[in-house]
Each structure stands twice: as C-alpha cells, then as structure tokens.
Amino acid sequence: MPRESANSAQFRPLAEFESSVHSQHGEDGLLGEVFRRIGAAGELSEWCCEFGAWDGLHLSNTANLILNHGWRAVLIEARPERCDLIRDNLPADRVHAVCAMVSTTGPGRLDELLERTEIPVDFDLLSIDIDGHDIHVLRSLRRYLPKVVCIEYNPTAPNDVVYEQPLGSPAQHGSSAAAVVRAGEDVGYVLAAVTDCNVILVRGDVVDAVLGPARPRLDDLRDDRALRCYVFSGFNGEVLTSSPLEMPWRSITVRQSDLQVLPKFLRFFPGARGKPGELAFAGWLLLHDRQALVRMFRSVRTRRRRG
C-alpha cells in the first residue's frame, strides 16, 4: 500500500471509505484506508491471512490486497476442491494455500498452522469468516497477533446483545457484534469500524495511527434500530413481539403465532376460567413442564398461607 503522509482526511470516519472490489460490504476500501494510515505512521509487512478463504476471490477481504497491491498471503480453506481453486485464481509466488480446518486447540490451532508458513508474526491483516467459532479462534491466538482483524458477526443481533456461539457447538449461530468487540478487547484489540457483516479491530499499539484520539462505540458505528425485536408476555400467557422476527438467510418472516408456547385454549389470565381452566392448565404442565407445575403449586400454597 502507498506510504502517504498524514493529511486533512487522516481521521475521517472509516465508513466513508467503504468500497468493494472483491469484498461483500465495502471492506476493501475501508481496509485500504486503515493500512494507508498505519503505513503513514510506520512499516507494513504487506502480509495477510484469511480463512475460510473459499476460492480466494468470492467475497474475499484479502484478494484486492493480493491482486492489486502486491501483498503476500496465507489462505486457509477446509475443502480441498476450493484450495485447488485458490491456487488457480491467485499467484502461486505470493499466496500459500493451506487445506485445513482451523480449530482452537491442537495442530489445527491457527498459531500452529501459520508456523508452517513464511508469514511474519507481526503480519498486517487477519480475516476470519467461518460462520460460527470465529471469536474463539481469535481468543486462541498467542504468538501471531496481526495489526488488524476483520471478523464476521451475526448481523441480526442488536448492539446490546452479547451472544457468542458456545465453544464446541456444531450449530452455526455466529456471534453478536458486541461479543466480537469484547473478544477483541480480551486479546488487546480496539473497535475501529463495522460493516454489514464484519467488525474491524485494530491492535492497541496502532490504534492511534488509525483512529487518532477517537474511540468509537458500537452504537456510534452501527444503526441497529431496524434489527431490534423485543419478545415479551401478555397477561394471558401469549408470547408477544414488538415487530416480526426476520430470518434473512432463509428469507423467512417469523410470525407471532409461530412463537406460541401455550395452545390457544389455555391462553387466559390466571383464574379467569375458574377451577376447570386451572385444572386444564395443570394437566398441560404435567405433560410439558413438570418443574413449572411444581412452582405453580408452591405459589398457590404460599398465597393460601399468607391469606
């Protein structure tokens, strides 16, 4: 990347530089500006690492740096056929394709995989996109600590939700942006920017070069108002929502009727249907939630004692 000196645009919001050559949501332009700022203040190794790298081009956060700026890279992909595509699509003299599944322990740990390559310990960019255990891999780093980390998050989670996919879970939930930011802080990184699906973190020793005195919060960088869906309960036991729940990866809108726990004939205010209603409700609990049935009887006994 060019080694320009600082100018009047040095600390403009990074979101203003979003543009895509190969990336999905403007990460190419944003990262280019991040490295322009770091390069103006010091040296860049011009090395990057990305996993899962797919074919090296599809929605890649590193292909622009490799193809248009001469960077070298380690690209890690678990599927052999995709590793073959990486070798076909990108220059072999600058790209080391590794066919492996990245894990948080053992020989698949990222530190272990990188030690088998020429990438320097102080490389510039790590892009993590594995649809699940992304933040656990970030926390597993010990030796290799890149200057910048671009890491995927689950964009359906609002900013105040700290949810991380449980370590070892086979499900692909993804983690919330707030959880990604917290994981970055655990290993010495600071929030710098957010796109529609990636959080950009910069290492603590280069953050001043990228952000100046500013330290933006997640709410400063991401408008999550359209994503907030609150779930609450009516007096009659009906599950209510503030807005429809969207599942964008399946193009499904979850209706309020889809979320109900109680059958319709049992959705009534306690006592509203007399003893028959309460017996029907107790019978349903006996079949579906015996612990709740025990709690209900304890509550009834307590009220009778106090009465």
pLDDT digits (tens, 9 = 90+) for 64-111: 999 999 999 999 999 999 999 999 999 999 999 999 999 999 999 999
Q: How far is the C-alpha of 116 from the C-alpha of 127, rounded, in Å?
A: 18
Six-digit token pair at 151?
A: 């890491």
Q: What distances in angstroms separate CA 306 from CA 234, 245, 299, 300, one per listed residue?
A: 26, 42, 11, 10
Residue 135 C-beta-side C-alpha neighbours within 13 Å: 28
Name the DSSP letter for residue 232: E
Q: How far is the C-alpha of 126 from the C-alpha of 152, rounded, in Å?
A: 11
CB 193 within 8 A of CB 30: yes
Weakest mean pLDDT among 37-51, 54-68, 72-86, 238-252:
238-252
pLDDT tens digits, one per residue of 162-186: 999 999 888 889 999 999 999 999 9
E strands, the chain, are: 47-51, 72-77, 95-99, 125-128, 148-152, 189-194, 198-203, 231-233, 239-241, 245-247, 252-254
Q: Would you place residue 3 in the very low, low, confident or very high pLDDT band (cuts 50, 70, 90)?
A: very low
Average pLDDT over the chain reads 92
Reported residue count of the chain is: 307
Q: How far is the C-alpha of 19 from the C-alpha of 221, rounded, in Å?
A: 16
By CB neighbour count within 10 A (0-12 exposed, 13-18 middle, 19+ buried), where does 107 fall?
exposed
pLDDT tens digits, one per residue of 9-26: 568 999 999 999 999 999
**Looking at this protein, which amino acid is placed at residue 122?**
D
pLDDT tens digits, one per residue of 100-153: 999 999 999 999 999 999 999 999 999 999 878 899 999 999 999 999 999 999
Residues in a beta bridge with 189: 203
Give CB contacts under 8 A, 24+ apart, made by 15-18: 15/193, 15/221, 18/195
Q: Is the pLDDT of residue 307 over 70?
A: no
Q: By three-state DSSP, how is residue 128 classified?
A: strand
Q: Would you place residue 301 in the very low, low, confident or very high pLDDT band (cuts 50, 70, 90)?
A: confident
CB 109 within 8 A of CB 89: no
CB 273 within 8 A of CB 264: no
Q: Would you place residue 5 in the very low, low, confident or very high pLDDT band (cuts 50, 70, 90)?
A: very low
Domains of the chain, each with CATH number or no CATH: 14-222 (3.40.50.150), 229-261 (no CATH), 269-307 (no CATH)
Q: How far is the C-alpha of 31 from the C-alpha of 72, rounded, in Å?
A: 16
Q: What is the pTM of this model?
A: 0.88
Six-digit token pair at 120?
A: 């320097």
